[in-house]
Structure 1
Amino acid sequence: MKGYLRPYIGKLVFIWLVALLGIGASIALPLIGKEVIDGPVAHGDQGALLPLGLLALGVGVLEALLTFLRRWAQVGPVLGLETRIRDDLYRHLQRLPMAFHNEWQSGQLLSRATTDLSAIRRFLGFGMLFLVMNILQLTTVTIVLLNMYWPLGLLVAGSAVPIVVVSLRFEKRYILISRRVQDEQGDLATLVEESAIGIRTIKAFGRRHHVFDSFDDSALKVYGTSMEKVRHSARFFTFLEVIPNFTLALVLLLGALAVGGGDLSLGTLVAFTTLMLQLVWPIASLGYILAMSQEAMTAADRVMEVMDTVPEIQDGADTAREPRGHLRFEGVEYRFPGAESPVLDDLWLEVRPGETVAVVGATGSGKTTLTSLVPRLLDPTGGRVTIDGHDVRELELGSLRQIVATAFEEPTLFSMSVRENLTLGHLDSSEEELDAAIRTAQAQFVYDLPWGLDTRIGEQGMSLSGGQRQRLALARAVLSKPRILVLDDTLSALDVETEALVEEALRRVLRDATGIVVAHRASTVLLADKVALLRGGTITHVGTHHELLEAVPEYRELLAQDADLDPSEGALR
């Protein structure tokens, strides 16, 4: 966090200086009052009363102005700091690989970007400043009190001992409870997000009460831990209220006896008690500030937990110039972290420029993992993937992902307009290019939406059918005009008639690009120049569709599951 504070050092020094002057002004007022009581009031000197009164008024106005100036000056740095951390956190999340996002709950990441950063901002904007101010005020006032009348000063200083001891015990316990609350809030946020995204499934299966019970259990868990945190805080805060008030009562009692015995002047006692009252708020607020500091420290640990994660997929240094799209998988292995056996093992495959290869395999054979290696959503744990002879790990990620475009079986659409969703991969697209991509994907339905391309679709595109979402994802991939187009079973949700129209348009697109098509349907296989059969984590056969139909029984069985194939004839109807 030190690096984030560096740009604001100048402003922070100014804020501290103003705060110190404000403390000085607040201490000066009781001392002026002492002089008023022991001087003009005690001696009936009306002439000396006015200057001291005006001095007290001036110091009071100065203190008010310094307080306003401090609060005005601290807003910018605090909000700026929170914004910088949030931007860096989001930027870092974008750099982290899919393996990281698969392991982390989205609600935990969301709570770090919102709740945790708010806790850090509150402490930096209020807690840290007042923690230092209160310590300075306590120290300075205690020294002044010792100089004014040391017996009562020792009493005030001695009252700090039990406060320090109890504060240390409170801090250790509070750290643990605070972390539990924040983690449980992240789990609760995950439940809310998943319920919102999966609301159709929940309603379709009539599981509303079951989902609510799960949410209620998590909410009660947060409630229970929060109540434990409140009870722990309440005991500590009560103790902090009792000690200064009890000390003040003793000061008034002993001070009155000292005035009666002539050991202490009335003005000194009034100033002493006034200064003593200035210690009540710093001591009473100590609990709130310590609680705030522990929440901020826990929040900072949770944020840095993400920020300290080193991306496994690092940006390369090379830039592909005039890419041709010659793609090769050379002895590729991929093993998920902690898995005993690899998903892909010693996989070899070559796709020449302008050539399209259909990858066919049983469910769970690793087809999606294979396609994820091309744009480096995953990196192979062995072997390498090359484009035009360059290992993809040596290419800049921005350059690589301009060459490669992917359309997934489960398309992701964002809560923005159709136009914005389509142009994510190519922001400078013209209306003609946009229309061509829409027609290629047979997504002309967008023109019938209430506001056409400017219609805002719901989160995850839930207002659209599965086939419509797939066609928009396909149009987005086509619009980027990639040298390598990866289609991960992108046509699975289309009806037969629409699929035939999309395939006809895709043939024209694939003439100018290198293509990898994950296929489950026999009709989709015909888009490809050749077919690669994926089995046991490796490519076992490569050939044309008709060659594999005739020579490879497993290939024939896989495609026989599709209604378009007559296995007895070994050909498409």
Structure 2
Amino acid sequence: MALSLSRSILNLKSKRQSPLFLAASKRQHFISLASQFTPPGNAEFSKVLYRKRSGGLGAVRTRGSWWDLRDIEAANSSPSNPVTVSMALIRLWRLIGDDKWIIFLGLGALFIAAVSEISMPRILAASVFSANNGESAAFFRSSRMLIVLLIISGICSGLRSGCFAVANTLLVKRLREILYAYLVFQDISFFDMETVGSLTSRLGADCQRLSHVIGNDIHLIIRNVIQGTGALINLLTLSWPLTLPTLAICFLLAVIFSIYGQYQKRAAKLTQELNACANNVAQETLCLMRTVRAYGTEGEEFGRYKQWLDELAFIGIRESAANGLWNMYFVILYRSTQVLAVLLGGMCIINSHVTTEQLTKYILYCEWLIYATWRVVDNSSSLLQSVGACEKVFQLMDLLPADQFFSKGVKLQRLMGNIQLVNVSFHYPSRITVPILDQLNLSVQANEVVAIVGLSGSGKSTLVGLMLRLYEPVNGQIYIDGVPLKELDIRWMREKIGFVGQEPHLFHMDIKSNIKYGCPRDVEEEDIEWAAKQAYAHEFISSLPHGYETIVDDNLLSGGQKQRIAIARAILRDPAILILDEATSALDAESEYYVKEVLHALRNESRSKRTIIVITHRLSTIKDVDRIVVMDNGRIVEMGNHNELLLKGGLYSRLIIAQAESLVSEP
């Protein structure tokens, strides 16, 4: 017994050390950890099922409060003009452009296939009864017709599916192209108010869903309308008295669907809105995972994401319940047509009003009519959901692009680099009650090196945004070489400006492409290397395994190295105006030294002269500039060189002292 116990203990130890056991243990630990944030399944279902609702089962009645979506619509839907099916079809038809022939070819194949298929029940019944009556010639003739119709139907159905699938692919492509073009040409203020997750959701899932309108829903509706109409004509020719109850049932189905379809449209629109919000939270969390991990806020982020999933489940359960009710009504009414056909048809046979062959044809066409009605209703429901879900796409496509991209501005013969701001005031569109700049006046001479300093929130970076014409001043005017900035050709003007921001943003491409990104002229390898040397980046780039061909990755380069590549990008443009916005804020001492050397080299470079504007809070990097502008609360409070401002004993002097004390106090 002791030997058996020892073997059991050894087996347990070896099992615990096995990879499978360790993986299962980790998985179980994760499940227990996640359960701290997620309630058990039944409780979760009950919570979502009855959330924000009272009144017991009475609220679940067809017109009860359980179905009400208005509270979520009010919280998550922005006001917009509702898009009707006709509006959506007109806009999508225009997007198809010169490829409409594909749609027409598909519609032609659709019509032939639908007529072929709807002819089959009559011929099928005739062939069966001709065989039953011993009429071999009629039987073989009907059989040959069935085979021909089968081949025609198969070929045309395949052609129809292929044409509309191609049209769907082209429509998705054009929708995304046009929407993307509208987005990239919007004012910067638009991106201040929209989230990246929401916009990518519109470009992805919403455009894909909207393409189903023509690529899937409409052509299936047309096919089933043709087949249903053919079935109805055959029913009326066979026996119009028997057809009336079937028509009444079809009308009742249409009434029920009109209620169900509108509910589905509203629910689909909300689902797309909530999906966009959930995607935004997920994207934000995954992009900032290092911050999340450092602060240990995985649970909080999980809770934020789960909140949107709860809202989606709230809508989804009601959508599913509505779909269940619709299917219940449909099945009851559908089976009713079969029962009525047999009962009424049997009575007609007894009274010799119809023959058995006629009743057989009637039952087959009755089945076809109800099936076609169901498919029309089902595809109409999908159509309404697609249109309702994608109102935001049309809303974005209705936005007018920024005027600055399409207005024909002035191109100066040569940009000298004189900048003048006269009584400039500004507030952000999303915060109109918070003034950022107030009656600001500043003049920068060509080839002058000017530093702008001040406390955080004093308006330094906003001033740069106005110079780049990312925003328009609320009041006042900005002049470049004596010409109002808004009268200059914006593309030409930005070609003459080099900009390096606080956070160096590099694209997922090789270093060479990152350096020449946005350069308005063709450049050679020597030019790229020259710019990298000017930015003190050539040495570390050359040490990389693939040199300038190295693909930039988030973990490949340090912040200082990225910043020097960004500076090389700005230098390569050979700009008349160079703006460095907090370019040294996140740098270590070595990288800061290199940036100071870059500034010194640019200032004394004989190859070209330029106006340089430096925004910084690292005051040690700007002691040798021509002029220092000190800002506070959106105003200029001091101006002069380093020594002059120190003698004044004002804000600049206090900032210098505060920085010196912080350096001394560091261990």
Q: TM-score range by the shorter chain?
A: over 0.9
Instruction: Tell me what 2:190 maps to.
Output: 100
Once residues 356 and 249 of structure 2 are traced to their aligned partners in structure 1, the CA distance between those partners, rounded to angstroms, is 24
AA matched with 2:541? V
Once residues 465 and 624 of structure 2 are traced to their aligned partners in structure 1, the CA distance between those partners, rounded to angstroms, is 20
Matches within 5 A, 1:337-356: 337=429, 338-356=431-449
Instruction: Tell me what 1:27 maps to.
Output: 118
Instruction: Tell me what 1:501 maps to.
Output: 594
In the TM superposition, residue 378 of structure 1 has moved relative to its aligned partner by 1.3
In the TM superposition, residue 280 of structure 1 has moved relative to its aligned partner by 4.0
AA matched with 2:423? G
Instruction: Tell me what 2:618 maps to.
Output: 521
Matches within 5 A, 1:363-382: 363-382=456-475
Once residues 444 and 103 of structure 2 are traced to their aligned partners in structure 1, the CA distance between those partners, rounded to angstroms, is 59
Q: Give yes or no for the alignment of 1:14 onto 2:95.
A: no
Once residues 201 and 343 of structure 1 are traced to their aligned partners in structure 2, the CA distance between those partners, rounded to angstroms, is 29
Instruction: Tell me what 1:336 maps to.
Output: 428
Matched-pair contact (CA < 8 Å) for 1:417–1:455? yes
| Contiguous gaps of at least 5 residues in structure 2 | 1-90
Instruction: Tell me what 1:571 maps to.
Output: none
Secondary structure of 2:265's counterpart equals helix
Matched-pair contact (CA < 8 Å) for 1:334–1:344? yes
In the TM superposition, residue 544 of structure 1 has moved relative to its aligned partner by 1.8
Matched-pair contact (CA < 8 Å) for 1:313–1:376? no
Matches within 5 A, 1:284-363: 284-315=374-405, 316-318=407-409, 319-337=411-429, 338-363=431-456
Matches within 5 A, 1:191-270: 191-270=281-360
AA matched with 2:491? G
Matched-pair contact (CA < 8 Å) for 2:225–2:376? no
Secondary structure of 1:76's counterpart equals helix
1:564–1:492 CA distance, 2 compared to 1 (3 A):
farther
Instruction: Tell me what 1:546 maps to.
Output: 643
1:410–1:416 CA distance, 2 compared to 1 (3 A):
same
Q: How many residue pairs align between the two structures?
A: 564
Give aligned-pair identity as a percent: 26
Q: Give yes or no for the alignment of 1:445 onto 2:540.
A: yes
Once residues 288 and 437 of structure 1 are traced to their aligned partners in structure 2, the CA distance between those partners, rounded to angstroms, is 62
Provide, for residues 378-411 of structure 1, a one-character-per-residue CA deviation record: whole Å limited to 9, x for no partner. 1111112222222222233321210112111122
1:322–1:133 CA distance, 2 compared to 1 (3 A):
same
Q: Give yes or no for the alignment of 1:388 onto 2:481.
A: yes
1:555–1:92 CA distance, 2 compared to 1 (3 A):
same
Provide, for residues 338-381 of structure 1, a one-character-per-residue CA deviation record: whole Å limited to 9, x for no partner. 42242112212122221111111111000000001122111111
Q: Which moved more, 1:461-470 or 1:208-217?
A: 461-470
In the TM superposition, residue 273 of structure 1 has moved relative to its aligned partner by 1.9
Instruction: Tell me what 2:175 maps to.
Output: 85
Provide, for residues 136-164 of structure 1, a one-character-per-residue CA deviation record: whole Å limited to 9, x for no partner. 32233212211211122112211112111
In the TM superposition, residue 252 of structure 1 has moved relative to its aligned partner by 2.7
1:140–1:430 CA distance, 2 compared to 1 (3 A):
same
Secondary structure of 1:493's counterpart equals coil
Matched-pair contact (CA < 8 Å) for 1:142–1:156? no
Matched-pair contact (CA < 8 Å) for 2:185–2:402? no
AA matched with 2:123? I
Q: Which moved more, 1:29-38 or 1:199-208?
A: 29-38
1:498–1:34 CA distance, 2 compared to 1 (3 A):
closer
Instruction: Tell me what 2:566 maps to.
Output: 473
In the TM superposition, residue 548 of structure 1 has moved relative to its aligned partner by 1.8
Once residues 269 and 555 of structure 2 are traced to their aligned partners in structure 1, the CA distance between those partners, rounded to angstroms, is 35
AA matched with 1:537? G
1:239–1:429 CA distance, 2 compared to 1 (3 A):
farther
Q: Which moved more, 1:117-126 or 1:425-434?
A: 425-434
Once residues 531 and 142 of structure 2 are traced to their aligned partners in structure 1, the CA distance between those partners, rounded to angstroms, is 83
Instruction: Tell me what 1:433 maps to.
Output: 527
In the TM superposition, residue 521 of structure 1 has moved relative to its aligned partner by 1.6
Once residues 440 and 120 of structure 2 are traced to their aligned partners in structure 1, the CA distance between those partners, rounded to angstroms, is 82
Q: 2:241 aligns with which of 148, 151, 159?
A: 151
Once residues 257 and 8 of structure 1 are traced to their aligned partners in structure 2, the CA distance between those partners, rounded to angstroms, is 54
Q: Which moved more, 1:44-53 or 1:480-489?
A: 44-53
Once residues 565 and 257 of structure 1 are traced to their aligned partners in structure 2, the CA distance between those partners, rounded to angstroms, is 102
Root-mean-square deviation over aligned CA pairs: 2.3
Once residues 566 and 228 of structure 1 are traced to their aligned partners in structure 2, the CA distance between those partners, rounded to angstroms, is 62
Secondary structure of 1:540's counterpart equals strand
Secondary structure of 2:516's counterpart equals helix
Q: Which moved more, 1:255-264 or 1:553-562?
A: 255-264
In the TM superposition, residue 566 of structure 1 has moved relative to its aligned partner by 11
TM-score by length of 2: 0.80
TM-score by length of 1: 0.93
Matched-pair contact (CA < 8 Å) for 2:500–2:581? yes
Once residues 324 and 281 of structure 1 are traced to their aligned partners in structure 2, the CA distance between those partners, rounded to angstroms, is 75
In the TM superposition, residue 558 of structure 1 has moved relative to its aligned partner by 1.9
Instruction: Tell me what 2:630 maps to.
Output: 533
Secondary structure of 1:442's counterpart equals coil
Once residues 350 and 564 of structure 1 are traced to their aligned partners in structure 2, the CA distance between those partners, rounded to angstroms, is 33
